[in-house]
Structures are given as C-alpha cells and as structure tokens.
Structure 1
C-alpha cells in the first residue's frame, strides 16, 4: 500500500500541473471588441475585420468617427488602447477602431507585401515566407478598392459610424497603402495618419506617382499627418539612394512632403513631425497619438 501511495503522488502532481497550465492558457479578450469575417469578392480572398467600440457605445445613441488601421495584428490593440486613453485622460473624442487583418491562410509578410505595395518592384531579392509560393506584390490599388467598396459599407451598415469622418492609419508598408489611396482616391478618408512610409520601395515609385498626380490635378483634398523616427536616417559615410539598404527615410519623407506642398493645392493640409531618438520599430505609438490629436482634438461635438 505504501508503494502505491508513493507512485500515485507523482501522478497527482502531474494532473494538478496540467489543470493549472490549462487554466493559465485561457485567452484574454479585449472589452467591447468584435471580429467579423468578410470576403473580398474581386480579390477572391477572405479577411477579418476587428472592431473596437467606445465604452459608451451601447448607451449613447451617438455616431462616432472611425479609425481604420492597417497591420491589425499589431496595430489594432495598440490603436484601441491609445484612442481610449486619449479620450479618458485628454478629452479627445471617442472613436470606433477598425482593424484590417491579413488575408486568411497567408503569412503576415506575404499578405502585407502583396496588399500594401503599389507596384511589382523592377528589381528585388525578396524571399517568400510561405513555402511553395513566390512573393507577391503590387495589389494596393485593388486592396484599396476592397476597403472602400466592401469594408466601408459593412461598417456603415452594422455600426453607428460617422462615415463622413474616416481616418486611415498606416505604418511602413501600411503607409504605402495610405499613399496609394491618397493619390488615387484622396476623398476615401478625411484624415490620413502615415508613419515612416517606405518611400524607397521600387526605387522611389511613390515619388513618380506623386508627380503624375500633380500633372493631372489642380487640387488634392486631404488632411495628412506624417510622422517618422529621427533615427530612421542613413548611417554616416553611406551614400543615399532609393533602395532599402541605403535609404534615408527621414530625408525621403521631407522631400516627399515638400513636393506635395510645392504644388499649392488649395485643399491639402499636411503636417510632418520627426520624433527624435525613435526608430522604425518604436515610433508608431507616437505617430498615432499625435496624428489623432491633429484631427480629433479640434473636432469635438
């Protein structure tokens, strides 16, 4: 009997550990959030849309501005938290936050490289992060139409969203998607928050697109907040070029903003903020915070 008891003790201990670890793996759910599946009909792909509602949404009866956030896997919970904190502690309007996910079944880099880039690069050495599938590029125009023609109607139908006050938020490749929308259908959003845009992409393709837009249009009706980290510049001794390896992203963004403003579009408003001591990985929360304040702080009802 004594031997049986000693043999049972390790078994009981193991069962307790399993029970404890099962409890520890319980998922943490963000309050007032929903996940919706949506089929991109033209793209023939499936996505999810993450939605965070203001705390007072159920009781207020109000309509709210809508924040559309690219790279939702990272940016959605961050944007939700920052927007909530700015409301509670800085008096900013509450917003509905909509996160745009990567395509179902696709690796994140594969999905964003395809959906957020404006062109197929003329030269590249990219490797796919999906075995058996070559890297894909250049579908930002089609993905942008998916947002405006399919995501917008769903949000307008299902939520009390003020679709006259839509804000786009992107960072890095996500900002390329924002620039694609800005230079093809600027009225898609009332405000753009664009952090650290990868203007080096495809040997500076977006510089060419910006000049092409200016040649055909007399106005660019948009409000844009550009933000970037002060450390996103070229290392000393290196020669700047329109390549990822030798890009000076701060200089690129200053040049792009200067080109936009040089055309003197009557209804374009831009602001550029360089956040010193921040790099590409750390700057996004600051860009989002200041970009929201630039639009919503003066828009309270």
Structure 2
C-alpha cells in the first residue's frame, strides 16, 4: 500500500468518527480527539439540510486585520490533515513569521468520510435549461453557496476575528467543481480558490457556461483573485480502455487532465482582468491522492496577499 493511501486510511481515527466507540473488548479505549478543534452541527434554512462544521482556530493572537481563513469542502474527510498542518505551522510561527490561518471544514452529520448523495446535491451546478438530473438529484450549488455566504460565514465571523479580505475556498472532485462554480458566478465570495481534480466533465462541462460574462464579473465584483488548479497524472489513461472495464472507460470519458488543461488555456488571458491562475500536474497521483497532495499548498495560498 502506498504511504499516502495508508495515511488516508487512518483518517477515521483522527477524531472525526467513532471508530473505537463500539469496541468494548479493551478497557480504557475511547474515541480519539483532535486537539484544538471544535465541531458543531448546524441546520440551514436555505438548503433544508444539516451540516457538520469543523473549526481549527490558531492558538496565537490574531493579526490586527484578523485571521486568514480557509473554507474546506468534504470536511469529514479532509479537515483533520489540514488542521494538523495549520497547528504545526502555528507552533513554528515565531521562527517562520508565517501568519496564522483559521480552518473551517464543511461536512455532514455522518460517521463516514463522505455523505455521497448530499455532496452530489450540494456541489453540482444547476441544470442547463431543458436538461434534468435523476429525480433524486437537486443540483443545489446555488443554494449551497447562499448557505456559506448568508449562514455559515456570519456564524464564523461572530466567533473568530476573520480577515474578510483573505478568504480561501478549497474543494476536491465535486468540491472542485463547486469551487469553480463559485469563482465563475460569484468571484467576490473569496479571494483565493483551490480546485483539486475538479469534475469539469459534469453535465457536458456545463460549469463552463458561466465563463460567458466572467471577465466582466471579475472586474466589477471580484478584484484580484487567484486560482490553483491541480490534477493527478494518473487520472486520464493514455492507452485504450478494455471493453469489459467499465471503471477505466468512465475515467477515460471524464478527460480529467484534458479538461483542466483546456480550462487553464481559457483562463490565462484573464490575468489582465485580475485573475492569477496556476495549474499543477501531480506526478504519480490518482484522483484520491490529489486531495491530500493539493492540501499541502492550501495554507501558503491562504496567506497570499496579492489578491487583497
């Protein structure tokens, strides 16, 4: 097993599930706790859904302007490693001079790493006119963005000193799709956007429809913004797919690397409108690897003050 895959397999033991709660064979064992972190379930009146919010606050005084903040999607799975990174950097802050970062994970009130139906509803853009998802799918991205802006951010800002000019959104896969949706439609929401292996293929690349008018929205609503795009170099097979390998055929159809490269080419000319784009091809990484590998760059991105 690869070290990264082994690390991901340990995530449920990092205080975000009750993996040990049912084991009564060993006296003294109890569920692990993630130090310096809090969680709270909140119900959204906008989406009608409940969310589990995870917060890791710096243990150092806030700068005068407040903490830079990262809003992280798929919080059940991805909050713990990013929170531990942030905590480690807090401990080194006196020597490094790095400014502290507040981590906010948005998850769901489940014990699993993912609530797959819920995230599929929340992270996918509304349907194109004349198209429809299966009846169980709602394509809720517009409402989910309202939840973040109108309900979650006020909750966080009331508890912590936040620098509202230094906010980052980080999402992987469908979460990366939502990150792009937010940037293209409401660039004023965050200053930094990190999209790891974004599902651009969703509904015939419908998220790209919002590129019409995006340059104008950047100029009038956004100001300087940064986007980090990543994708693993194992996410798009180079050889022919076997006829009986449905998974391989699906991966080939999604064209993950080609879609990211094409999007990068379309966005590069927008630098004059204030968008700085960096694209990374992650060596040896598959779709799952890209989430954790990309998270290693998120704190540095969150501290970047070029997009203020």
- Bin for the TM-score computed over the shorter chain: 0.7 to 0.9
Q: CA deviation at 1:98?
A: 0.5
Hey, what does 1:35 align to over in structure 2?
A: 39
Give me the TM-score of the superposition, normalised by structure 2: 0.77
Q: CA deviation at 1:85?
A: 3.2
Find the partner of 2:107 among 98, 101, 109. Answer: 101
Q: CA deviation at 1:93?
A: 2.4
Q: CA deviation at 1:258?
A: 1.1
After the TM superposition, which residues 1-301 of structure 1 pair with which residues of structure 2 at under 5 Å, given as runs?
21-24=26-29, 26-56=30-60, 60=61, 62=63, 63-88=66-91, 91=96, 92-102=98-108, 108-120=115-127, 122=131, 135-211=136-212, 213-214=214-215, 217=217, 219=219, 221=223, 222-237=225-240, 245-296=252-303
2-structure distance, mates of 1:64, 1:253: 31
**Kindly tell me: are residues 179 and 197 of structure 1, through their superposed partners in 2, closer, same or farther at Cα, counting changes over 3 Å?**
same
* SS of residue in 1 equivalent to 2:120: helix
2-structure distance, mates of 1:218, 1:51: 30
Q: CA deviation at 1:35?
A: 1.4
Give me the TM-score of the superposition, normalised by structure 1: 0.78
- The count of aligned residue pairs is 266
* SS of residue in 2 equivalent to 1:272: strand
Q: CA deviation at 1:105?
A: 10
Hey, what does 1:129 align to over in structure 2?
A: none
* Gap regions ≥5 residues in structure 2: 1-22, 242-249
* SS of residue in 1 equivalent to 2:296: helix
Contact 2:236 2:251 in 1 (8 A): no
* SS of residue in 2 equivalent to 1:198: coil
2-structure distance, mates of 1:81, 1:218: 33
2-structure distance, mates of 1:70, 1:198: 14
> Quick check: which has more Rg, 1 or 2?
1
* Gap regions ≥5 residues in structure 1: 1-17, 127-133
2-structure distance, mates of 1:256, 1:296: 25
